[in-house]
A and B are shown apart, each in its own frame.
Chain A
């Protein structure tokens, strides 16, 4: 889920009519001082970080003067929470709290609708008091029933005169969740003050990854949960995924160095969530450190698999490349084989690779991958559905050991090799790149390339041309990648597919 910071969530609440404390967000000590001075009086300074227990780590502190707020902000902006540096602090008025409520909305998988959790005492430690929590189902169209919220409020010690406003505030939480397609909203606490106000004193909100495209106003950069700020490679991978919706490409960096006692750092390329998790377990059992989690599945294009491989191989220090998914894939595995073969050739792969291509067309896929990679310095082996993750992880360990023994250096990211006519010959645009035609092609070469292009290209004498309108041709990137790999295996250098990997 895409997480919002407290101040971002509070803005959405405030837009929906739920009051929040006066104040503002600061990125520098100067800003913090100015905001504190505008707010006036005693203020609270809070780090903006995705964590619980901010108070205990010194992330929530009080300042009596703007100068103090400035000093606190300076200290806090130097903090790091997990892998995330603190980039903003929120400065707000101090509240004279009378009563606190815990209000949380989440998606209930059993009821297939949102559910509100309400409890009479806010603050920390709410998880331990589950039995005191009132659960209110929220039909997706109509929201929580007013009677249920009011019957809950009646059990609290809060003055009845505030119940209308509290009901409206709780209702507003549902409205905000629905409007922004939140997966969860937690107001802990919703407070009443001694001067009779109702305010959200804190706010944690997550937005549904799959709905982020409908909410550009939220400014969410990468709609994926990670335990660190997005790395440059994760940004590149995310951008590649956004531009090609054929299949799925998921990428998360896990480690940049091999853990002590392991054989080395491995580039991992899974296919399908369930099978990927099992394959990673098999790698871990063979004492490898996994550099990244990658998943290309759901019938991905060859170019999507190619880009995934390029991103994985942008990581220095790898001792090998391991690909394995469910093993009995419904998708056509030849496209994955072509995408991998192209990336491995361009990078002149020097470390061992073991790829399990089990599923549809597995025999062809294994054959393509192995033959296309024959001339590479690194050994590339393909496997099928009857080869278990455990067995191929073991084989991979053997190859890595042999490679280390032979003195093969850990992987260093490098420039791709491209034929010399790239940039000068004739080219035609395709999705996310272009195909370059070798100007030295003779008629026989052009003719053979056209035969290998799955009808994407036609030969006219020595010329190799798109066999269809430009718009249709642009979608034949997978077929053209296949053609390039097949030509290379046939000893022909007829064309080259240049695929952009934005940001690399």
Chain B
């Protein structure tokens, strides 16, 4: 198994005819993702790389039920940031239960409205500002890996789940783990924003319930309370699989932002020291240097055998 995405999930792409939509659909199809339909208002009847395009998500949903014998499982949203809210709500209201919101710069009040809508309909989402999710050897949603042949070369299937707050570092983490002989069940970039659909603890609980995942590797960052919340789940024994973590941004000053909107210390909360302490006390292995992550993970995984 794996979490969120595998080769059997029916995936649609909203914004499939755009520059990003076409590029990411090429990756997803090439890697084995079952992309069943795409949506772009006004482009019904076209096709992108053989994937039929519809005006609306309900039309794509109807097509999927008729041709693929089931619902759309996941929608990957690749529309400009200001249109993400409308696209996401359309998908949720059409019965799509998992969304992947790739665009950067989605306004935070839009993200909160999407979250409210998702809660009301029992849906969930990854992002915004996510590179996506990949289950090595199975399927990918979003743009992680960039090209199918790169994704195949970089990520090895295995038993470690990766959760990252940084897009580039989710690829790096999994790549360096792979070089150390450690494969991954699923790699999830949760997104760099401050309001996210799936936070580290949510994904950790999914890995906890995934029989294939034996250990969890976290690339955390300063800011917010996600790492502390994961530590709390570990204390409560709701996450019992071993956790290995690196927390970035040790040198960052309070109140200064380095790219990720979520990576900012506000009012003394979300500090590097606070996160390291919470996770360590909860029993996680927290490495000081990113370069130590593969070896620390190898030790933890080795001890399980």
What residues make up the interface of A, taking CB atoms closer than 8 Å to B?
Answer: 107, 109-110, 112-114, 127, 139-141, 178, 181, 183, 208-211, 213-214, 224-227, 245-246, 248, 250, 252, 270-278, 280-281, 284, 293, 295, 297-299, 325-332, 359-360, 385-386, 388, 390
Contacts and interface: CB of A to CB of B under 8 A. Distances in A.
Contacts of A295: 258-259
B167 A390 contact: no
A94 to B, nearest CB: 29
Given A271-B168, A274-B164, A284 B147 contact: no
Interface string B164-208: 111111011001000100000000000010111101000000000
A227 B116 CA distance: 34
Interface in B5-49: 19-20, 23
20 contacts: A107-B112, A110-B225, A112-B116, A112-B196, A140-B112, A209-B105, A210-B81, A214-B107, A225-B255, A245-B80, A273-B166, A273-B263, A274-B168, A275-B172, A278-B169, A297-B167, A326-B169, A328-B168, A330-B146, A386-B179
Nearest to A272: B168
Interface of B: 19-20, 23, 80-82, 104-113, 115-116, 131, 143-147, 150, 154, 164-169, 171-172, 175, 179, 192, 194-197, 199, 219, 221, 224-226, 229, 248-253, 255-264, 267-268, 290-291
Given A113-B112, A227-B256, A275-B169, A359 B146 contact: yes
B168 A208 contact: no
Contacts of A127: 267-268
A275 B147 contact: no
A480 B199 CA distance: 41
A312 to B, nearest CB: 16
A181 B261 CA distance: 15
A210 B105 contact: yes
A176 B194 CA distance: 20
Contacts of A227: 253, 255-256
Contact of B248 (A211, A278, A330): A278
A330 B169 contact: no
Given A273-B259, A293-B258, A328-B171, A360 B108 contact: no
Give the one of A274, A275, A297, A332 with max B CB within 10 A. Answer: A274
A112 B115 contact: yes
Nearest to A358: B172
A275 B195 contact: no
A276 B258 CA distance: 8
A199 B199 CA distance: 38
B194 A327 contact: no
A281 B247 CA distance: 13
A297 B195 contact: no
Contacts of B108: 107, 181, 183, 208, 210-211
A223 to B, nearest CB: 10
Given A209-B261, A211-B108, A293-B258, A274 B166 contact: yes
A273 B226 contact: no
Contacts of A213: 82
Contacts of A250: 259
B248 A274 contact: yes
Contacts of A271: 168
B111 A326 contact: no
Give the one of A295, A326, A329, A385 with max B CB within 10 A. Answer: A326
Give the one of A211, A214, A273, A293 with max B CB within 10 A. Answer: A273
Given A140-B112, A274-B169, A275-B166, A109 B196 contact: yes
A328 B291 contact: no
Contacts of A274: 164-169, 219, 221, 248, 260
A274 B222 CA distance: 10
A330 B112 contact: no
A109 B262 contact: yes
A386 B154 CA distance: 11
B260 A326 contact: no
Contact of A327 (B131, B168, B259): B168
Contacts of A208: 107-109
Contacts of A275: 166, 168-169, 172
B223 to A, nearest CB: 9
Contacts of A298: 104
Given A210-B108, A331-B146, A225 B259 contact: no
B199 A326 contact: no
B250 A140 contact: no
B243 to A, nearest CB: 18
B80 to A, nearest CB: 8
B248 A178 contact: no
A47 B82 CA distance: 36
A281 B251 contact: yes
Contact of B259 (A272, A299, A359): A272
B291 A390 contact: yes
A245 B108 CA distance: 19
Contacts of A360: 146-147, 150
Contact of B112 (A114, A224, A293, A326): A114
Contacts of A113: 112, 115-116
Nearest to B19: A246
A329 B154 CA distance: 11
A112 B124 CA distance: 12
Contacts of A276: 258-259
B101 to A, nearest CB: 13
Give the one of B108, B164, B261 with max A CB within 10 A. Answer: B108
Contacts of A109: 194-196, 199, 224-226, 262
Give the one of A109, A224, A270 with max B CB within 10 A. Answer: A109
Given A225-B257, A281-B251, 16 more contacts: A109-B224, A109-B262, A112-B112, A140-B109, A141-B113, A210-B105, A225-B256, A225-B264, A274-B164, A274-B221, A274-B260, A276-B258, A298-B104, A326-B166, A326-B172, A328-B175
Contacts of B167: 272, 274, 297, 326, 330
B171 A388 contact: no
A275 B264 CA distance: 16
B171 A112 contact: no
Contacts of B221: 274
A325 B168 contact: yes
A209 to B, nearest CB: 7
Contacts of B194: 107, 109, 183
Give the one of B164, B172, B175 with max A CB within 10 A. Answer: B172
A210 B260 CA distance: 12
Contacts of A107: 108, 112, 194-195
Contact of A140 (B113, B164, B196, B256): B113
A453 B261 CA distance: 37
Contacts of B251: 277, 280-281, 284
B268 to A, nearest CB: 7
Nearest to B261: A209
Nearest to B27: A330
A295 B80 CA distance: 20
